[in-house]
Structure 1
Amino acid sequence: MSFDLPIQPPERITGLVNGTASLGGGIDLPVFYPATGAQIATLTEDDETAVARAVEAARAAFDKGPWPGLSTAKRIEALEACRETILANVDELARLECAATGLVLKELRARHMVRAAYNFRFFAEYISQSAGQSYTQTEGYLTTVTREPVGVAALIAPWNAPVALATMKIAAALAFGNTAVLKPSEQTPMALARLVELLQEVLPEGVLNIVNGRGAVTGAALVAHPGVDLVSFTGGTETGRAIMSSAGRNLVPCTMELGGKSANIIFASADQDRALDGALQGIFSNNGQQCLAGSRVLVERKVFDDFVGRFRERAAKVRVGDPLADDTEVGPLASLAHMNRVLGFVDKAREDGGQLLVGGTRREDLGEGYFISPTAVLAHSNADRCAQDEIFGPFATFIPFDTADEAVAIANDTAFGLVSYVWSDHLPTVMATTPSLRSGVVWVNTPMMRELRAPFGGYKTSGVGREGGASCEAFYTEEKTTTIPTAPPALRRFGA
């Protein structure tokens, strides 16, 4: 079976520095369409020299350009112009994103691109309400606290939702007066390359630049560059460790949104129909490739068999196929290597004493693309690899529990701590459970949602720092305390 391309992509994708295509200097990297496995574009990797040019452009724009000193009103205008640019190009950006990621096109149009545009609106609204602080409690003095931009931000975006997640970083960094160098994943560079090109028309020169390439080459050069003042990364935990180690040598602060192995706790007191819908959405949306997926489904034993049976029945009916089709619910995984890794956990589950419940195979009837059947396994215990390792695909692991305390213990028994889900219509159960969950976010009786005013990030190896309104303000600004005497103070006259 063959599927049409969502869009004819550019033959070659390059970085963009001061509005001009980067010379790269590195090797050529292939970009594939996950629905067919065919190469559709070539990416020019930016080497250390090319990265240095991008950082120097951002440095010059920060040190000598107008952006950091713009009035709040002017910066709001620019952020709103970025938003309008995205909304005017939703279809093109969504199709480019689909071509590199294999995500379902209708979801990209309706959710990802709308969220990307809203990221700029949100931070425009946020800075419109920002205020400084002043203190007069110490007699004879006025002390003010103001916030100033930090400098050049290195923004490293993931491959699973490139535009939606990268624009959170871009909008925040720019809103507070920083300049930026963006590095997308080498697997999914096309939509972000086009977005940065479009935004050149509404931003001053050098404020936003983009470099492309592998993390070990381009990303490493970017993080280590002495002209970078802060780093924001979303991606895998091991890569996050390497980035923090490198940035730490220059004492550069970092925020890290890393991996997850989130527990989706289903109590018998939950509305079972809604909990079932939420569990399916929590693991199969975005092709299952999201750090906040409810990948460990913990179900109270008294309803376990019924819930799992209904889940299996529904999972077997999930429509897998062409990401351009309106009725497709799950598209292909992002790459051949990733597909093989996800499927490899079926054998690991069996080796650990688990049982395959549904799926677990490649959809060879759909051609050479990276399609798999939505998958679920019954774990032998929470110590199984499928219950501890982040699989990052449409792959759920089921575990029964008997008491709320046991559910919390299982949920917390992981190296990760990004998100937890709790499903119960019994308020005392909810109130007793949520404070004990070791995760940065808890969602009750709802699948994933994002309140941008609230902090988002994880405990343990799921991250360092937070994203969100006040959290981003704290990260992307420096606090300055200025003290002025209200009358000439008495001075000690040394040596008089």
Structure 2
Amino acid sequence: MTAVGTGRLTIDRPLPAIVGGQARPVPAVLPAVEPATGRTWAQVADCDGAVVAEAVTAAATAFETWRSTSLAERQAALWAIADRLTATAADWPALLATENGRAIREAALIDVPTAAEIFRYFAGMARAVHGETIQGAPESSHVYTTREPLGVIAAIVPWNSPLISVAHKLAPALAAGNTVVVKPSELASVSTVRFVEAIADLLPPGVVNVVTGYGATAGDALVTDPRIAKISFTGGTESARTILGRAGARLTPALMELGGKGSLVVGPDADLDTLTEDVLTGVFAANGEVCFAASRLLAHADVHDELLERITARADRIRVGDPLDPATQLGPLISVAHRDRVSEAVDRAVAEGATVCAGHRVPELDGELGGGAFYRPTVLADPDGRTSASCDEFFGPVLTVERWTDEDDAVARANAVAYGLAGGVWTTDLARAHRIARRLQTGMVWVNTWFATPLGQPQGGVKASGFGREGAAETVREYQASKVVNVSLDTARPPMWD
């Protein structure tokens, strides 16, 4: 990997698939496009069904031995992966910023340490794998369960936080004794290939494999392979419907971590100084391309006007620019096409009655950045929550601000969306906090904060936001099956056949 131009990265060699611990060159390639400039900075393999089948074969073969490894061996392997990430931490931020436009300071502060900690967490959880003795069985029987790995896991990861997402898939699956074939997004495949190359010596060949390419070809071949024991997918709801439809023919189980429309309900007693910081982080971190972004703010009438004024003023000051510049606060979206979709969605909301308070424009940047997928952080006023902006996911740096006076109405509006991933409430009234938290139809609720995701806290949603949980002890069970063993302790039998 070398630097070109003004410190920009490029990879000179086409990146292969990784099958059975070895590079698997593929004649056809896809361009990796840097969203900040629109230039091709790398090439990745465009895998067909035959290459995907090879990867699944390698994983299935490796499973026969990996499933029998001791818990201590799995723990040591996961800890070694975390150490490798930590030791190479300086290598990742520029790559991640180049790949998907994530501001380099965010990538250094969040992505790399988080990925390492995920592996450390599940290294500990590897020792916690155990079955149960069933109480209440007849005295003539001894009944117990064991936890067994499923087999080959198809791990499909998105483009917005690829390193973190790969860690969320690999760590629990490996801790549980499975092998994995990873399919990254065609928009951000480089970091996944480089990561698996970097840890290849820490795992037996075939335990982790990577196939790159389009969802309709490589992805489809992976999810329809009859040897796949489970699909673990993070991405958009529409893609999930396609995957589940294809997998349904074989009844392949799945874990789905999907989109969201996070609503933060603000009480009349909120601490506006701290709240403003959390709102900005909640909606504009990672360029707003986060499934549990706080993209919808429902503010009580007593604080609505001041809060909207504060957020608008701060949004206007956010530094948008080169993601490789440490001073940049918000980089480009993943592609010009996605930027245009976000802008069109804002246009639609404005036509429906929303008011633009900040942003909703492409910034004027010089030189090679002029063709990038940049978009100013945008704030929309939608007092009654009647426009599409208050129910559709933008997956970009767009915040809608609503007004409420009746708590029941605020909760009803927050719940009146298809999604159910993350929600929140900001108040100093403890009763209100618990009351609203209980009523929000989401998998995660934050009180007086946003984006707090410590390891051990289950992450996942309900409704159109998916099913299954990541990042917690229960995640290991997502990748295991329970087997019951019933041992008879005597020879007595009822006289059924006399």
* TM-score, length of structure 2 as denominator length: 0.95
Deviation at 1:186, TM superposition (A): 0.7
Q: Distance in 2 between matches of 1:58 and 1:452?
A: 28
For 2:277, the equivalent position in structure 1 comes to 277
Contact preservation (8 Å) 1:6, 1:98: no
Counterpart amino acid of 2:34? Y
Residues 1:89 and 2:91 aligned together? no
Residues 1:202 and 2:205 aligned together? no
Deviation at 1:493, TM superposition (A): 8.2
* TM-score, length of structure 1 as denominator length: 0.95
SS in 2 for 1:363: coil
1:235-384 equivalences in 2 (<5 Å): 235-366=235-366, 367-379=370-382, 381-384=384-387
| Deviates most, 347-356 or 123-132 | 123-132
For 1:21, the equivalent position in structure 2 comes to 23
1:446 to 446, 449, 453: 449
Counterpart amino acid of 2:157? A
1:219-238 equivalences in 2 (<5 Å): 219-238=219-238
| Deviates most, 442-451 or 173-182 | 442-451
SS in 2 for 1:46: coil
Q: Distance in 2 between matches of 1:117 and 1:375?
A: 33
2:481 to 472, 478, 481: 478
Residues 1:392 and 2:391 aligned together? no
1:77-106 alpha-carbon deviations (Å, 9 max, x no partner)? 111111111112222222221111111112
Q: Distance in 2 between matches of 1:307 and 1:368?
A: 34
SS in 1 for 2:481: strand
For 2:56, the equivalent position in structure 1 comes to 55
Counterpart amino acid of 2:46? E
Counterpart amino acid of 1:128? R
| Deviates most, 84-93 or 421-430 | 84-93
Contact preservation (8 Å) 2:256, 2:466: yes
Counterpart amino acid of 1:101? N
SS in 2 for 1:21: strand
Q: Which runs of 5+ in 2 are unaligned?
A: none
Deviation at 1:421, TM superposition (A): 1.4
Counterpart amino acid of 2:30? L
Q: Distance in 2 between matches of 1:196 and 1:239?
A: 25
| Deviates most, 415-424 or 95-104 | 95-104
Counterpart amino acid of 1:129? A
| Deviates most, 354-363 or 425-434 | 425-434
Counterpart amino acid of 2:434? M
Q: Distance in 2 between matches of 1:202 and 1:68?
A: 16
SS in 2 for 1:453: coil
Counterpart amino acid of 2:15? I
Contact preservation (8 Å) 2:148, 2:481: yes
Counterpart amino acid of 1:485? S
SS in 1 for 2:356: strand
Q: Give the percent of matched residue pairs that are identical in Structure 1 and Structure 2.
A: 37
For 2:216, the equivalent position in structure 1 comes to 216
Aligned residues: 491
Q: Which runs of 5+ in 1 are unaligned?
A: none
Deviation at 1:382, TM superposition (A): 2.5
1:456-494 alpha-carbon deviations (Å, 9 max, x no partner)? 1111101122223333222100101112233x3214688
Q: Distance in 2 between matches of 1:464 and 1:122?
A: 21
Q: 1:224 to 1:257 in 2, by over 3 A?
A: same
Q: Distance in 2 between matches of 1:14 and 1:473?
A: 30
1:322-374 alpha-carbon deviations (Å, 9 max, x no partner)? 21222211111111101111111231122101111101100122422111111
For 2:33, the equivalent position in structure 1 comes to 32
Contact preservation (8 Å) 2:349, 2:387: yes
Counterpart amino acid of 1:54? A
1:392-471 equivalences in 2 (<5 Å): 392-471=395-474
SS in 1 for 2:10: coil
Counterpart amino acid of 1:43? V
State the Cα RMSD in Å.
1.7
Contact preservation (8 Å) 1:23, 1:46: no
SS in 1 for 2:283: helix
Q: Distance in 1 between matches of 2:496 and 2:388?
A: 70
Counterpart amino acid of 1:352? E
Deviation at 1:218, TM superposition (A): 0.9
SS in 2 for 1:376: strand
Q: Distance in 1 between matches of 2:146 and 2:379?
A: 52
For 1:108, the equivalent position in structure 2 comes to 107
Contact preservation (8 Å) 1:15, 1:193: yes
Contact preservation (8 Å) 1:5, 1:99: no
Q: Distance in 2 between matches of 1:410 and 1:489?
A: 63
SS in 2 for 1:230: strand
Q: 1:362 to 1:18 in 2, by over 3 A?
A: same
Q: 1:271 to 1:136 in 2, by over 3 A?
A: closer
